[in-house]
């Protein structure tokens, strides 16, 4: 398929003061977009002006939430070049999410080519300051106008771009975690492994309560026993327990994070033993108090790693790490961002240059 490049008004310019970028509020001048219907398959791929599109009020996505998305970043290196981190993994996961949500598959190579074309046209929007990046949001929505509950016959796929400030301003700061004993992120057998909007909608109530109580994130437990740790906020979670790396197994209700995957490769190379097993909330609380648990951190594209400094569960508070990010947490942050920004050799072929 040929990608059409339509004329665009350069109405917006990248901001000069990159420290004031707010996550996901500002978008570039262009977007990639294409449509799917049962007869034609994917068609009319084009790069056009960023802006609203019209949807029928009966479009299935607006009623039954048939929607998926991805999140990845483009990094500006000191020599001006632009790097992507494991972009193929994002589009492969997009296809897994599509399958779970009964949506059509995409050609991964075509998606990578479309993203490259879009980024080439918008490369001035990749910010320059250390730690900043251009956030990339591929999205698919069901557009067929019908109120019957079924997989849609028509879809829209698009990619939008948003410049983002450095996640950490002045060092990694540990977060306060509220362990949700009442609300679960997703049910067992649900859509937890798909990157779909509904999982986020259902997380809002608990995260609002946590935020009102002064916490930064919610720690989600499994929906069956309300005992085993699954994720933190919208990140995977990793523990340094008895000197080993412990993280939740990919049991169907957690997202198969690309940062998680990369971190596990790195800690293996650092010589740590890895246990992908269910870790109970009691092990975490007791471990924080008796010293068996020494570090805990969330992993995800936005923060890379996010150290945990406190857990609160049913009124019991435990502190971890004396208000500072752990040594391993710091080393992982420095290594992964080092690979992304080109300070450290990319031995795994994770980086794709634009
Ligand atoms: C996207 C996401 C993650 C992190 O995945 P990365 O590929 O590392 O960015 C973790 N949990 C949830 C629920 C997510 O949506």
Q: How many angstroms separate the CA atoms of 222 and 234, rounded?
A: 15
User: Is 220 part of any domain?
Assistant: yes
Q: How many angstroms separate the CA atoms of 195 and 92, rounded?
A: 12
Closest CA to 73 of 170, 157, 164, 140: 164
Place of tokens 């198969």: 256
Confidence band (pLDDT; 50, 70, 90) for 4? very high
Does 306 sit in the ligand 1 pocket, CB within 6 Å?
no
Residues 111 and 183 in one domain: no
Residues 205 and 310 in one domain: yes
User: Is 52 part of any domain?
Assistant: yes
CA–chain centroid gap for 30, Å, is: 22
Does 300 sit in the ligand 1 pocket, CB within 6 Å?
yes
- Looking at residue 77, its pLDDT comes to 96
Residues 135 and 208 in one domain: no
Q: How many angstroms separate the CA atoms of 247 and 240, rounded?
A: 9
170: pLDDT strictly greater than 80: no
User: Which atom of ligand 1 sits closest to the CA of residue 72?
Assistant: 9
184: pLDDT strictly greater than 90: yes
How many CB atoms lie under 10 A from the CB of residue 149? 9
Q: Which of 142, 164, 186 is the last residue of a domain?
A: 164
* Mean pLDDT (whole number) for 292-300: 96
Does 255 sit in the ligand 1 pocket, CB within 6 Å?
yes
Q: Which of 140, 164, 188 is the last residue of a domain?
A: 164
CATH number at residue 42: 3.30.470.10
User: Is 31 part of any domain?
Assistant: yes
Exposure of 328 by Cβ count < 10 A (0-12 exposed, 13-18 middle, 19+ buried)? buried
User: Is 210 part of any domain?
Assistant: yes
Confidence band (pLDDT; 50, 70, 90) for 18? confident
Pocket test for ligand 1, best of 93, 255, 297 (most atoms within 8 A of CB): 255
Q: How many angstroms separate the CA atoms of 167 and 133, rounded?
A: 10
Domain count, the chain: 2
Per cent of the chain over pLDDT 70 is 100
Residues 159 and 179 in one domain: no
Domain span at residue 88 reads 4-164
User: Which atom of ligand 1 sits closest to the CA of residue 302?
Assistant: 9
Max CA separation in the chain (angstroms): 63
Residues 8 and 87 in one domain: yes
Does 236 sit in the ligand 1 pocket, CB within 6 Å?
yes
Measured in Å, residue 193 CA sits from the centre of ligand 1 at 9
User: Is 170 part of any domain?
Assistant: no
CA separation (Å) from 97 to 156, 255, 262?
15, 10, 20
Residues 211 and 318 in one domain: yes
Residues 246 and 132 in one domain: no
Residues 239 and 96 in one domain: no
Pocket test for ligand 1, best of 70, 73, 136, 235 (most atoms within 8 A of CB): 235
Q: Which of 134, 164, 194 is the last residue of a domain?
A: 164
Q: Which helix (H) or strand (E) holds 292?
A: none
Confidence band (pLDDT; 50, 70, 90) for 15? confident
User: Is 348 part of any domain?
Assistant: no
pLDDT tens per residue, range 73-120: 999 999 999 999 999 999 999 999 999 999 999 999 999 999 999 999
Residues 142 and 250 in one domain: no
215: pLDDT strictly greater than 90: yes
Residues 25 and 134 in one domain: yes
Mean pLDDT of the chain: 95
- Looking at residue 247, its pLDDT comes to 97
Q: Which helix (H) or strand (E) holds 186?
A: none
19: pLDDT strictly greater than 90: no
How many CB atoms lie under 10 A from the CB of residue 312? 18
168: pLDDT strictly greater than 80: yes
CATH number at residue 212: 3.20.10.10
User: Which atom of ligand 1 sits closest to the CA of residue 259?
Assistant: 8
Residues 117 and 211 in one domain: no
* Mean pLDDT (whole number) for 308-331: 94
Query: Residue 324, SS3?
Result: coil
Residues 83 and 229 in one domain: no
Please state the φ and ψ torsions of residue 300, each to the nearest 5 degrees.
-175, 165
Measured in Å, residue 226 CA sits from the centre of ligand 1 at 21
What pTM, to 2 d.p., does this model score?
A: 0.96
Tell me whether strands 244-247 and 235-241 are parallel, antiparallel or unpaired.
antiparallel
User: Is 217 part of any domain?
Assistant: yes
User: Is 81 part of any domain?
Assistant: yes
């Amino acid at each position: 398929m040929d990608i059409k490049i339509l004329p665009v008004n350069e109405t917006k310019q990248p901001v000069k003061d990159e420290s004031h970028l707010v996550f996901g509020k500002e978008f570039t001048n262009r977007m990639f977009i294409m449509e799917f219907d049962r007869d034609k398959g994917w068609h009319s791929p084009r790069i056009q002006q960023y802006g609203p599109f019209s949807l029928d009020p009966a479009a299935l996505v607006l009623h039954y939430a048939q929607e998926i998305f991805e999140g990845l970043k483009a990094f500006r290196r000191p020599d001006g070049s632009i790097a992507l981190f494991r972009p193929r993994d994002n589009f492969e996961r997009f296809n897994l999410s599509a399958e779970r949500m009964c949506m059509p598959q995409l050609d991964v190579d075509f998606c990578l080519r479309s993203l490259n074309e879009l980024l080439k046209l918008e490369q001035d929007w990749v910010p320059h300051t250390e730690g900043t990046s251009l956030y990339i949001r591929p999205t698919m929505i069901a557009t067929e106008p019908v109120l019957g509950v079924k997989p849609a016959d028509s879809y829209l796929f698009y990619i939008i771009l948003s410049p983002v400030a450095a996640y950490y301003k002045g060092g990694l700061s540990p977060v306060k975690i509220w362990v949700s004993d009442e609300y679960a992120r997703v049910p067992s057998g649900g859509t937890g492994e798909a990157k779909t909007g509904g999982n986020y909608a259902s997380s809002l109530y608990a995260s609002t309560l946590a935020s009102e109580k002064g916490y930064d994130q919610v720690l989600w437990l499994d929906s069956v026993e309300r005992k085993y740790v699954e994720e933190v906020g919208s990140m995977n979670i990793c523990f340094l327990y008895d000197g080993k790396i412990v993280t939740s197994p990919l049991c169907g209700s957690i997202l198969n994070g690309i940062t998680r995957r990369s971190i596990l490769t790195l800690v293996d190379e650092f010589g740590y033993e890895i246990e992908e097993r269910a870790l109970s909330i009691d092990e975490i609380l007791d471990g924080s108090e008796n010293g068996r648990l020494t570090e805990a951190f969330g992993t995800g594209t936005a923060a890379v790693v996010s150290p945990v400094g406190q857990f609160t569960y049913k009124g019991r508070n435990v502190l971890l790490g004396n208000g500072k990010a752990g040594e391993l947490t710091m080393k992982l942050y420095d290594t992964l961002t080092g690979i992304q920004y080109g300070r450290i050799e990319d031995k795994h072929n994770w980086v794709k240059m634009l």
